[in-house]
Amino acid sequence: MFKDLADFAVKYALKLGANYSEARLEETSSNSFIMKNGIAEASGFGKINGLGMRIIKNKTLGFTSTNYLDKEKIKKLIQTTINTAEKASHLREEINLSEDKSLKDKYEVKQKINLNDVGPDEKIKLLFDAEKELINTKINIPSRYLSLSDSITTEYLINSDGTNVLATVPRASFFYLLTVEHNNKTSQRIWQNGQTGGFEFVKKWNIPSIVVNEVKALQKNLKFGIKPPKQALDVIAAPQVVGIMVHESGGHPYEADRIIGREGAQAGESFITKEMLGTRIGNEAVNVVDDPLLENSYGFYKYDNEGVKARRKYLIKEGIINEFLHNRETAYYMGLKSNGSSRAVNYDRESIVRMSNTFMLPGKYSEEELIEDVKLGIYMKNFMEWNIDDKRINQKYVGAESYLIKNGEIKEPVIKPVIEITTPQLYLAVDAVANNTEYHAGNCGKGEPMQPIPVWFGGPSIRLRKIRLGN
């Protein structure tokens, strides 16, 4: 790793008059394998070796990056960045960073089975095993798309405040899209597993059983599914559904850069304002946190991309809006200290406020107890289509594997129940939270250019009272 180059770059920017400079060096190696309809479509690998810098001069922020790791090239880019920042100074937003302790540390997510010690043949075999099991079900699955990816990233961060962090994070993910057909009707599911750590987790996922359970449920739904009832009813949303709900409407609106308008152009703003801190958004049973420190989580980090120590953030505490996600810039703006939420997907992107692992905290009930108390309702295990508006109010989730609940018992499958609801309606309808927490992996989209970043989202099952399903 070209650490000396990063150290030099930070000093050189200061020499040219910068008030703050920060360099982030990234070295990533990755592998990926794609199987489509039983054919090993392709194998691939990649390598990244690049440097990204943030430079502040006279309260104007400039970002630059390159993978030409050459001193002269970097000197030129720093000079250009400073010149551009100077030219922009009459029209710039004043950028200040909150005070933070400088620190020096290094960490590595341990791997029991190193991802690089497992050959391509063994990785592809997992996909072949899954394909074999899918065929053995005798279910009509006209399209089967499976992919397995892994990467190991080492990042070296140094800034002019004296912070210096070296982090190595291995990460693996499995993605699938399955189409099941029955009587000329189809149903689909896309989902993903992802963790940080070694190949031991990929083995533990049991990929064949994941995909077999999916197609069995999809077929059952197509074969025996009934239309959902029209009257208001209760909904038990299972962990996958709770996870996406919390990510979209309990995480995104709490990103401070949205709240102050920084992402206004594309990712959007937020219905939440600074003045809403301390006000009620949901029932007392609702507690939502964002926590980068969950071991082996897909969104794991110990220090964020500004070198701020990560910690758990309580976004919603007992139904009250409690805290926003901050980087050093938004924290200064709101008179606070950063809570370590600054992330960049690669060396060539500016770090911005992001979620890590966002989930609802468990309650005291079992899932069975939640179901027992429902006279007429829907159990929504997972979903396919979902979306939410850019202020994070109007959201929709269409159930994939779903069942009718009658007098406290799970009955026949239900076809595509639709929850179309506003954020306050959703969190105020939660009357009980179970203790069966699960975490799920995704790539959260934000930023321009887009920065899809690995996260977990999750929670336990929850009960929503008196919901009217959409069309």
Partner 1 sequence: MEPEEISSYVLNKLLKAGADDVIVSVSKQDNSLIKYSNNLINTTKTWENIDLGIFMALKKKIVLTNIKEFSLSATDDVVNKLLKFVKSASPNMEYGGIAKGPFSYKNVEDGYDKKIVLLGDNSIDYVEKAINKALENGAKKTAGVFENSVEDVFLLTSNNVEARDKGTSSYFSIRAFNSKDASGQKTGSSRMIDLLDVEKLAEEAAIISRQAINPEHGKFGKYDVVFEPLPFANLIDNLGNAMSAFSVEAGLSCLKGMIGKQVANKEITIIDDGLLKNGFNSSKFDAEGAPSQRNIMVNKGIFKTYLHNTSTAKRFNTKTTANAGLLSPEPTNLIVEKGNFSKQELFEQVKNGLYITNIWYTRFQNYNTGDFSTIPRDGIFVIKNGKIGQPIKGIRVSENMLNLLKNTVSLGNKPERVVGWEVEKPVVTPAVLVKGVNITRPAD
- Candidates 66-74, 282-290, 305-313, 355-363: pick the segment binding partner 1 (CB under 8 A): 66-74
Q: By CB under 8 A, which span of 12-20, 143-151, 283-291, 319-327 interacts with partner 1? A: 143-151
Q: Which of 187, 339, 451, 461 binds partner 1 (CB under 8 A)?
A: 187
Q: Find the helix or strand (DSSP H, E) in which 201 lies.
A: helix 199-205
Q: Which two tokens stand for residue 80?
A: 């250009």
Q: How far is the CB of 235 from partner 1 (least distance, A)?
A: 13
Helix (H) or strand (E) holding 250: none
Report, in Å, the least distance between residue 470 CB and partner 1: 6
265 touches partner 1 (CB under 8 A): yes
Torsion of CA 457, 461, 462, 463, to 10 degrees: 150
Q: Which of residues 157-186 bind partner 1 (CB under 8 A)?
A: 177-179, 186
Least CB distance to partner 1 at residue 356 (A): 22
Touching partner 1, residues 341-360 (CB under 8 A): 348, 350
Structure tokens at 383: 């979903």
The continuous run of DSSP H or E covering 178 comes out as strand 164-182
Q: Which of residues 225 and 460 has its CB atom nearest to partner 1 in the complex?
A: 225
Kind plus residue range of the DSSP H or E element containing 117: none
Interacting stretch for partner 1, rule CB under 8 A, among 132-140, 260-268, 294-302, 430-438?
260-268
Binding mask 30-59 for partner 1 (x = CB under 8 A): ----x-xx-xxxxxxxxxxxx-x-------
Query: Judged by CB, which is closer to partner 1: 399, or 460?
Result: 399
Q: How far is the CB of 48 from partner 1 (least distance, A)?
A: 4
Distance of CA 226 to the CA centre of its chain: 33
The count of residues in the chain is: 471
Taking CB under 8 A as the criterion, the residue among 62, 170, 208, 340 binding partner 1 is 62
Cβ atoms of residues 385 and 355 within 8 Å: no
430-433 and 453-459 as β-strands: parallel, antiparallel, unpaired? unpaired
- Closest distance of CB 179 from partner 1, Å: 4
CB 354 → partner 1: shortest distance, Å?
16
**Residues 267-306 close enough to bind partner 1 by CB under 8 A:** 268-269, 271
Give yes or no for residue 443 binding partner 1 (CB under 8 A): no
| Separation CA 30–CA 300 (nearest Å) | 18
**Type of residue at 39:** I
Q: Is the peptide bond before 449 cis (omega within 30 degrees of 0)?
A: yes
CB atoms < 10 A from the CB of 198, how many?
23
CB of 423 to partner 1, least distance (A): 10
The single residue among 416, 427, 437, 461 that binds partner 1, judged by CB under 8 A, is 416
Binds partner 1 (CB under 8 A): choice among 121, 183, 275, 335: 121
CA atoms within 13 A of residue 357's CA, in its CB half-sphere: 27
CA separation for the pair 118, 148 (Å, rounded): 13
CB of 190 to partner 1, least distance (A): 9
Closer to partner 1 by Cβ: residue 291 or 348: 348
Which of 27, 32, 65, 23 has the alpha carbon at shortest distance from 48? 27
Distance between CA atoms of residues 299 and 149, nearest Å: 16
Site membership for partner 1, residue 119 (CB under 8 A): yes
Q: Which of 19, 58, 66, 206 binds partner 1 (CB under 8 A)?
A: 66
CA distance 84 to 30: 34
DSSP annotation of 347 reads T
Label each residue of 349-402 as H, E or C: CCCEECCCEEEECCCCECHHHHHHCCCEEEEECCEEEEEECCCCCEEEEEECCE
- Interacting span for partner 1 (CB under 8 A) from 99-107, 158-166, 280-288, 418-426: 418-426
**Is residue 215 near partner 1 by the rule CB under 8 A?**
no
Site for partner 1 in 381-410 (CB under 8 A): 384-391, 393-396, 398
Nearest distance from C-beta of residue 77 to partner 1, angstroms: 6
Name the strand (E) or helix (H) holding 193.
strand 185-196
Q: Which stretch binds partner 1 (CB under 8 A): 137-145, 207-215, 313-321, 365-373?
A: 137-145
Interacting span for partner 1 (CB under 8 A) from 152-160, 239-247, 254-262, 403-411 = 254-262
Does 11 engage in binding with partner 1 (CB under 8 A)? no
Q: Work out whether 188 is an interface residue with partner 1 (CB under 8 A).
A: yes
436 binds partner 1 (CB under 8 A): no
Query: Phi first, then psi: what are they for 301, rounded to 5°?
Result: -160, 150
d(CA 260, CA 232): 37
Contacting partner 1 within 71-100 (CB under 8 A): 73, 77, 80-81, 83-85, 87-88, 91-93, 95
- Angstrom distance (rounded) from CA 22 to CA 164: 10
